[in-house]
Chain A
Amino acid sequence: MNNVDQPREHYLNADYGIKSWLLTTDHKRIGILYLLLITFFFFIGGAFATVIRLELITPAGDLLTSDTYNKMFTMHGIMMVFFFLIPSVPAVLGNFLVPLMVGAKDLAFPKINLLSWYLLLIGGLITLYSIIAGGVDTGWTFYTPFSTTFSNTHVIGAAVGILIAGFSSIFTGLNFIVTIHRMRAPGLTWFRLPLFLWSNYAAAIIMVLGTPVVAVTLVLVALERVLHIGIFNPALGGDPVLFQHMFWFYSHPAVYIMVLPAMGVVSELISVFSRKSVFGYKFVAFASVAIAVFGFLVWGHHMFVAGISVYSALVFSLLSYLVAVPSAVKVFNWTATLYKGSISYRTPMLYAFGFIGLFTMGGLTGLFTAALGIDVHITDTYFVVAHFHYIMVGGTVMAYLGGMHYWWPKITGRMYPEGWARLSALVIFLGFNLTFFPQFVLGYVGMPRRYHAYPPEFQVLNVMSSAGASILAVGYVLPMVYFLWSLRYGKHAGPNPWGATGLEWQTTSPPPTHNFHETPTVTREPYDYEALPEGGFDA
């Protein structure tokens, strides 16, 4: 296991040319296609965020017109949620790693996997077309009757784009579930699976069971705009609150699609950089599944002031607190894993620390929003904006970047530059907190979300947030640069530079097209670092 056995042929150089990429069924190449695509969407969504933060530096709506501003936050939400965060960890890292981690040659349905990528591409292009053709101004939540009757922007285009991207997500989830059930290597029992697989499996359950509901809801919204049906239109006897039920049935669990795979990444990172098995493996594994199931029971907490019954609100609030428990269990277990470990401060570990910190704050502020009495005051304010950015950006994006650094040597065969990477992790952590922490205060003081102009007393907090956003932007551009740099100049990585235990580290870096030279057989428990040879890695 020395880092000199660079394989002669691997999945990257097995074939050349555009066609070999665009028609590939190799899950690793499709993972890279996803990486390119969602990075593109991320920077488009990021551009919208930049414009939003620039506008909010001053209280008056002086940079953009109201309509443009409304389109900006709508497109920021749509791009980031549906085209970046939901595919991020599962579609890039999951695609690359799930077959490797189960010791298979590919996902169960490679062609459907390629189809998923094309669906995301087509959905994204249709949505982009809607932007260029004039934009959408409904907010990413598409609340009726505004979206069905009153908005005269390109709602149908965006809805169709998201619908198509939704099928991409469904097929990815389906592929993961079948692969994990049917394609595990000999000896790889459920409780020997890396926690990354458990959490991706849990997320896949949500993709498969939740996405169809939002799909059909968006179909009904589109139909309502085209034809004269009024299922959500109060003027025709329909019910706008029903739309919210159906929308949040998916869109709340969608948060767990984003954060569960991220938790999986963090479990891997914490373990390998402490050189210890994750504390309470089974509890962490079952917590993932519990979050996936409970996550479906709580959507009503988005609607406490929307006109649902008081009793229903009670039920949803209570259930929301139940989902807090498995999340807390995970955080405690990660922390306990560090105890008596041998902790290394490599970049992925820094991201993992960042994740735990930010996710803890995001999760704990969720206790505020789930508390009925307080939610009345803070819902639809910047408090909620801050809360979900702590989970979705502070949580998911930190873990995604941590995972990218950790598996970068496996994906490309090269190491990233450690100094720059640590710097960027630090910049992102600081920039993030400066951007979003003031928004908690802003929200409780009373600034509603989606405001183009605001009363002057909110300015100082908004300026702090915008300043943080500029730091955050630098933090996000840095990895782009040094990852590209490392492709050419990075140090060659051996098969297992971190001394990790997963099956993906038992093959060469980058892996051959069929992943393993011979099908691996698993005889050990997960995270059994004792069994590894001493040294030989530079973690």
Chain B
Amino acid sequence: MTHNESSVLQVPNLQSHFGDMAQQKESASFGMWLFLVTEIMFFGGVFCAYLVARLQHFTGFAAGSNHLDVVVGAINTAVLLTSSFTMVMAVHSAQVGRRRSIIFFLILTLLFGSAFLGIKGYEWHDHWEKHEVPGPAFHFDEPNIAASNAQLFFSFYFAMTGLHALHMVIGAGLLIWMIIKAYGGGITADYHSPVENVGLYWHFVDIVWIFLFPLLYLISRKH
């Protein structure tokens, strides 16, 4: 945790302002966690707004929620969890230094991540077809339900899943970067903190979805 001048020389991948690899790795990991905490607060803001709006317009939110396809949502959750599993295997491969299996698992992660985005895109398209996208064309006809409240639900739905998807896209970019880096032999058993930190980010985005799925799809099924 402290500076050590003597070990500076001749360690590849060690940036000159760090004392040793352990300090560098610890700093990078701590920095990543700290960044994820800022992400908690970023999504936390929207979650808070969602909670307040749902309290105020409970019936409309429940009705809107029932227009989401739970089965598709559940499948997508499973897809994303699978990508998290392959990600953790990629990190594991990096720790034991198997280059080809790092690349294999990273590509799998990228594929599952893309599949998630594809399914999400299919759902969005479906809502578009059904005129469930907020705007002048919004249409929602159910007895005893105010369309404006259902529209507010869909506003949140698109804002929250949209912000989540944006994070997924950024994650996919990071994965591609890692694949290239691993392909060039830049990830080894001695130096793999980039893959670990991308993994942390990927899992965090997964966790956000773990909460979005029940909040948007599930908790208003029965009422």
Contact = CB atoms under 8 A, between A and B. Distances in A.
B3 A519 contact: yes
Nearest to B56: A239
Contacts of B170: none
Contact of B134 (A110, A183, A216, A228): A228
B27 A178 contact: yes
A106 B26 CA distance: 16
Contacts of B40: 212
B52 interface: yes
B48 A246 contact: yes
Nearest to B34: A174
Contacts of B18: 183
Contacts of A216: 42-43, 45-46, 163
A177 interface: yes
Interface in A187-240: 188, 208-213, 215-217, 219-220, 223, 227-231, 236-239
B23 to A, nearest CB: 6
A191 B217 CA distance: 50
Contact of A182 (B5, B23, B41, B134): B23
A217 B26 CA distance: 32
Contacts of A108: 27, 31
Size bracket, chain B contacts = 35 or more
B50 to A, nearest CB: 9
A214 to B, nearest CB: 8
B158 A229 contact: yes
Contacts of A260: none
A184 interface: yes
B131 to A, nearest CB: 12
B38 A208 contact: yes
Contact of A219 (B16, B38, B158, B163): B163
A220 B43 CA distance: 12
B183 interface: no
A265 interface: no
Contact of A246 (B3, B45, B148, B159): B45
A230 B151 contact: yes
Given A210-B41, A211-B38, A236-B148, A231 B17 contact: no
Contacts of B149: 237
B10 interface: no
B59 to A, nearest CB: 12
A101 to B, nearest CB: 13
Given A217-B45, A219-B163, A231 B38 contact: no
A228 B3 contact: no
Contacts of A215: 42, 45
A212 B41 contact: yes
Contacts of B34: 174, 177-178, 208
A13 to B, nearest CB: 20
Contacts of A188: 2
A175 B9 CA distance: 24
B136 A186 contact: no
Nearest to A99: B17
Nearest to B31: A178
A412 B146 CA distance: 66
A185 B23 CA distance: 12
B57 interface: yes
Contacts of B30: 178, 181-182
B38 A174 contact: yes
Contacts of B2: 184-186, 188
B207 interface: no
A170 interface: yes
Nearest to A110: B17
A212 B60 CA distance: 29
A238 B23 contact: no
A215 B45 CA distance: 9
Contacts, number: 134
A484 interface: no
Contacts of A209: 37-38, 41
Question: Which residue among B37, B38, B146 has the maximum number of chain A CB atoms within 10 Å of its CB?
Answer: B38
Q: How large is the interface on A (under 10, 10 to 19, 20 to 34, 35 or more residues)?
A: 35 or more
Contact of B27 (A182, A212, A237): A182
B5 A519 contact: yes
Interface string A496-532: 0000000000000000001000110000000000000
B1 interface: yes
Contacts of A213: 41-42, 44-45
Nearest to A112: B31
B152 interface: yes
Given A209-B38, A213-B41, A237 B152 contact: yes
Contacts of A177: 34
A238 B151 CA distance: 10
A103 interface: yes
B38 A242 contact: no
A278 interface: no
B135 interface: yes
A231 B3 contact: no
Interface string A78-114: 0000000000000000000000000111111110000
A181 B29 CA distance: 12
B112 interface: no
A240 to B, nearest CB: 12
Contacts of B41: 209-210, 212-213
Contact of B152 (A109, A183, A220, A230): A230
A245 B44 CA distance: 13
Nearest to B46: A216
Contacts of A236: 134, 148, 151-152, 155
A164 B160 CA distance: 20
Contacts of A183: 3, 17-18, 23, 27
B137 to A, nearest CB: 9
Among all A-B residue pairs, the 8 with the closest Cβ atoms? A229-B155, A212-B42, A228-B135, A106-B17, A105-B17, A212-B41, A216-B45, A213-B45
29 contacts: A105-B3, A105-B17, A108-B27, A170-B38, A177-B34, A178-B30, A178-B34, A182-B1, A182-B23, A182-B30, A209-B37, A212-B39, A212-B40, A212-B41, A212-B45, A213-B41, A213-B44, A227-B158, A228-B138, A229-B159, A236-B151, A237-B60, A237-B149, A237-B152, A239-B56, A242-B52, A518-B5, A519-B3, A519-B4
Given A106-B17, A216-B163, 16 more contacts: A108-B27, A178-B34, A182-B23, A182-B27, A183-B3, A184-B3, A186-B3, A208-B38, A211-B38, A231-B159, A236-B134, A237-B56, A237-B152, A239-B52, A514-B17, A519-B5
